[in-house]
């Protein structure tokens, strides 16, 4: 399956808590203008009606030639069956709603639903960050090629997806990458999302500044305060991104010990990379201390900052060796440096999710 040359049309949806944005994709390109309807997140009848109306409107511009519907929607859910559970931000779907089967009956099309973290990772693995980094490695003279990817979304919440050798890991219970529930470095009574999210940055800034949480600016403005471009508590703003970076670094370190692959970050908060990434990498690369006092590396592999052009060649080349043996006439060239890296999406989270939804639908149709 080559998504760039596949002529099948897939209807897709960017489902936010406020608005639904519908589009149609063919050969990895949007072929219709985006169409927006309100989400009506608190009213099941209105919400489902708008989903149906939105897809019907977009499909009319394709002359009803769509091959499938594929989109991201928040969980918890049984994504394989298309059943949505009790969604915290979509009260319309409290009580297990079979959205997938409803749409299948309405349009007589296959319907594939997944969460945005999964589809972000899938889009980045097939068409975004993973091929981008592998291409740069070859051009730099390296021989290593990565097959696995962890995609993490940073915004209202902390989401994730895992792709192993082009296969999206959905999981037996549709919980393949529930990274928001990794342990919180600062408070073990919290999950990681309480320190890796929009509200986390706002909470810390409000505490440091002595203002009500309801009066706290959004992370974009807090970043401007930290950079000295807006008035406010600059030290408090810096502290908010320090704690965010450390918490994120702690979760990434735990994740890459289980999944050996590149890490790509997406979402609005990545715009503050320069503010949080130094603390993120300090946390990832800190030492563990044995009870007798000696220190060991936290990770079994080297982890590189893939946004730092000064060290990218070192990452790309690695440690290429050629070895032989008296027992064989062959010489084997290999890269002896175990490593991974963290970087930021180059195509944008929303675009990656759309491409992931498109590619996932084609892959499922071809099974």
Give the strand pairing for 328-335 and 148-154.
Answer: unpaired
Is residue 357 a contact partner of residue 112, using CB atoms and an 8 Å limit?
Answer: yes
Return the domain boundaries, the chain.
Answer: 9-114, 120-189+249-358
pLDDT in tens, 285-295: 999 999 999 99
Taking the C-alpha atoms of residue 222 and residue 268, their distance in angstroms, rounded to an integer, is: 13
Look up the CATH number of domain 9-114: 3.30.420.40
Q: Tens digit of pLDDT for each residue in 125-134?
A: 999 999 999 9
Angle of CA points 25, 26, 27, to nearest 5°: 125
Q: Fold identical between 9-114 and 120-189+249-358?
A: yes
Question: pTM to 2 decimals?
Answer: 0.91
Side by side, which strands form the sheet with 262-266?
167-168, 158-164, 148-154, 262-266, 339-344, 302-305
CATH 3.30.420.40 describes domain 120-189+249-358: yes
Query: In whole angstroms, how far apart are CA 158 and each of 86, 139, 244, 285, 326?
Result: 18, 33, 11, 21, 53
Non-local CB neighbours of 23 within 8 Å, separated by 6+ positions: 11, 12, 13, 14, 30, 32, 33, 34, 35, 58, 354
For residue 323, the tally of other CB atoms under 10 A from its CB is: 10
Whole-number Å distance between alpha carbons of 343 and 330: 37
Give DSSP secondary structure letters for 238-292.
HHHHHHHHHHHHHHHHHHHTTS-SEEEEESGGGGGHHHHHHHHHHHHTPEEE-TT
pLDDT tens digits in sequence order for the chain, 367 residues long: 577 788 999 999 988 778 898 999 999 888 999 899 999 989 999 999 999 999 999 999 998 899 999 999 888 889 999 999 888 778 888 888 999 999 999 999 999 999 889 999 999 999 999 999 999 999 999 999 999 999 999 998 899 999 999 999 988 887 888 898 899 999 999 999 999 999 999 999 999 999 999 999 999 999 999 999 999 999 999 999 999 999 999 999 999 999 999 999 999 999 999 999 999 999 999 999 999 999 998 999 999 999 999 999 999 999 988 887 777 778 888 888 999 999 999 999 988 998 999 999 999 999 8
Residues 192 and 87: their CA atoms lie apart, in Å, by 19
Helix (H, G, I), strand (E, B) or coil at 156: coil
Per the CB < 8 A criterion, the answer to whether 129 and 123 are in contact is no
- Bond from prior residue into 224 cis (ω within 30 degrees of 0): no
CB-CB neighbours of 229 under 10 Å: 10
Question: Could you tell me the end-to-end alpha-carbon distance of the chain, in angstroms, rounded to an integer?
Answer: 11
Q: Are β-strands 158-164 and 167-168 bridged in parallel, bridged antiparallel, or unpaired?
A: antiparallel
């Amino acid at each position: 399956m080559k998504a760039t040359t596949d002529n099948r049309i897939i209807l897709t949806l960017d489902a936010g808590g406020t608005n639904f944005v519908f589009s149609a994709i063919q050969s990895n390109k949007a072929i219709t203008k985006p169409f927006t309807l309100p989400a009506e997140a608190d009213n099941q009848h209105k919400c489902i009606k708008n989903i149906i109306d939105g897809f019907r409107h977009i499909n009319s511009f394709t002359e009803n030639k769509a091959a499938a519907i594929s989109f991201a929607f928040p969980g918890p859910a049984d994504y394989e069956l298309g059943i949505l559970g009790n969604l915290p931000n979509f009260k319309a779907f409290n009580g297990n709603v079979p959205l997938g089967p409803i749409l299948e009956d309405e349009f007589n099309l296959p319907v594939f639903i997944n969460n945005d973290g999964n589809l972000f990772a899938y889009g980045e693995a097939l068409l975004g960050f993973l091929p981008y980094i592998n291409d740069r490695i070859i051009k730099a003279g390296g021989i290593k090629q990565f097959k696995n990817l962890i995609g993490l979304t940073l915004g209202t919440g902390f989401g994730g997806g895992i792709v192993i050798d082009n296969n999206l890991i959905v999981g037996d219970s549709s919980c393949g990458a529930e990274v928001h529930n990794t342990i919180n470095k600062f408070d073990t009574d919290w999950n990681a999302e309480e320190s890796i999210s929009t509200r986390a940055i706002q909470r810390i800034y409000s505490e440091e500044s002595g203002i009500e949480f309801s009066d706290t600016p959004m992370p974009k403005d807090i970043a401007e305060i930290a950079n000295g471009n807006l008035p406010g508590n600059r030290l408090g703003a810096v502290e908010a991104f320090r704690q965010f970076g450390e918490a994120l670094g702690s979760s990434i370190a735990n994740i890459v010990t289980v999944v050996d692959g590149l890490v790509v970050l997406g979402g609005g908060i990545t715009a503050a990379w320069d503010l949080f990434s130094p603390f993120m990498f300090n946390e990832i690369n800190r030492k563990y201390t044995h009870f007798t006092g000696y220190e060991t590396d936290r990770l079994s592999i080297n982890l590189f900052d893939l946004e730092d052009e000064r060290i990218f060649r070192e990452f790309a080349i690695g440690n290429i060796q050629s070895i032989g043996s008296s027992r064989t006439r062959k010489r084997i060239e290999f890269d002896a440096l175990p490593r991974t890296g963290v970087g930021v999406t180059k195509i944008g989270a929303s675009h990656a999710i759309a491409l992931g939804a498109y590619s996932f639908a084609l892959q499922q149709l071809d099974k």
